Amino acid sequence: MKRNIKIYLALFSVSLLLFAGCKKDYGDLNGETIEDLTKDATAAQLNNLVTGTESGMRTALSFYLDDVSIIGRETYRFSNSEPRYVLDILGANDATLNGANFYISLPWAARYSVVKNCNILIQAANNSSKITAAQRAGYIGFARTVKAYQLLMNLNLTYTNGIRVNVVDPNHLGPIVDNTAGLAAISSLLDSAKNDLGGAQVSFQLAGFAGFGDAAGLTQVNRALAARVAIYQQQWQTALTDLDGSFFSLNGNFNTGVYHEFGTGSGDQLNPLFIPQNQTGEIRVAHPSFAADITAGDDRINKTSLRTSTASLSGLSSNRDVWLYTSSTAPVGIIRNEELILIYAEANIQLGNLNTAVSALNVIRNGHGLGNYSGAATHDALITEMLNQRRYSLFFEGHRWIDLRRYNLLGTLPIDRTGDDVWSEFPLPVTEH
């Protein structure tokens, strides 16, 4: 049977995701066949696959960030049409997470759709006689880097329930592997991509990669993602080595990095995370603890804005809108220098380089209007400080739940209503059983 694929935005249409509840679906759509694309692709066809890959990375992004941010008590998502945001995801009453529901099936299928497109791009580049060896390495290095990032996002959701790493052949899927094996496979994939990019020529255009669109820039992005994986693996020296090869700059702009871009053009996508201030009906608000716990003078309070009236639903309330993405075309970070500075601080704490870590934490604090750290210069106190800085610097970027989970601190998150739960992971989608 021919496996088909559309390129550009249609490759990752929401209609694909609606089938996730009834069958495994890793991007089998109508259009040019994979045989057409992988037999002897032109540079134009390969570039179309790159465009489709980048576009698909944005699909269902809002579901992923709502998932991790709601459980991590960063935000609430109030929706009159979808009560499961305040029921299942917060564990209200007897509610539990269900593998058949949108909050896992949609982001899971979207990420694997991108993975499939990456696999097609790798196969097509390998089989093309119309590009140079250096160009081939550029396509493959990009595809493997993105594939690793997408797999990591799904593993962040399902954690000990694992992921499928090998989905090259949809008719013979590889096994589900656990979190440890999944992280090892993702790290290995990033290393392979780094090797590809070492001798590569990037002959395609990327959106949101300003300053990182050549082989050297993509290698820096690859190493930044590798540093993120390394701290998840508690490989602290490896994280510092990866930072050395990334765009990490202790005194650089916090926002230097790579982003998902959005636009109003025909066939483009708008930022699904943007909700206007003071809206009713469909609302995304900050958890009350965000403002209650923040240090006076911290400019990161401006990632939220005071509402003219408090929003409430199902026994929950907040008077602050999430105001991180302030327009329908605002970019969404994939990885930024601010995160890399915090990774540098964390790795140095864990390696016992406490003065170095304090200096890095002070860069973050000073950059947001706060004075130098004045607490105890001990391992435990600095871990607490580092996690607090990550909480505010990386607010609604998909980190707090994962951070507290890897430090066994989920029990410190607030319980909003009697009987609510703080989940440690999502179940696998029912399509994976």
Q: What is the CATH number of the domain that holds 160?
A: 1.25.40
Residue 245 lies in a domain: no
* 234 in Cβ contact with 305 (< 8 Å): no
Residue 372 lies in a domain: no
Residue 388 lies in a domain: no
Residue 415 lies in a domain: no
Rounded-to-integer distance, Cα 351 and Cα 98, Å: 40
Identify the residue whose tokens are 């692709």. Answer: 41
What's the confidence (pLDDT) of residue 32?
61
Which residues, 6+ apart, have CB-to-CB distance to 26 below 8 Å? 109, 112, 113, 115, 116, 167, 170
Residue 338 lies in a domain: no
Q: How many domains does the chain have?
A: 1
Angle separating helix axes 102-127 and 43-56, nearest 10 degrees: 160
DSSP assignment of 89-151: TTT-TT----TTSHHHHHHHHHHHHHHHHHHHHHHHHHH-SSS-HHHHHHHHHHHHHHHHHHH
- Domain with 140, as residue range(s), is 1-205
Residue 201 lies in a domain: yes
Residue 61 lies in a domain: yes
Task: Give the residue ranges of the chain where pLDDT is below 70.
Answer: 1-33, 35
What's the confidence (pLDDT) of residue 343?
99
Instruction: Identify which of 119, 148, 149, 122 has the alpha carbon closest to the alpha carbon of residue 136.
Output: 122
Eight-class DSSP state of 175: P
Output the pTM of the full model: 0.93
Strands 75-79 and 163-164: unpaired
Q: Which residues of 211-245 are buried (b: 16+ CB within 10 A; e: fewer)?
A: ebbbbebbbbbbbbbbbbbbbbbebbebbbbbbee
DSSP assignment of 253-304: -TT-EEEE----STT----TT---TT-SSEEEEE-HHHHHHSPTT-GGGGGE
Residue 348 lies in a domain: no
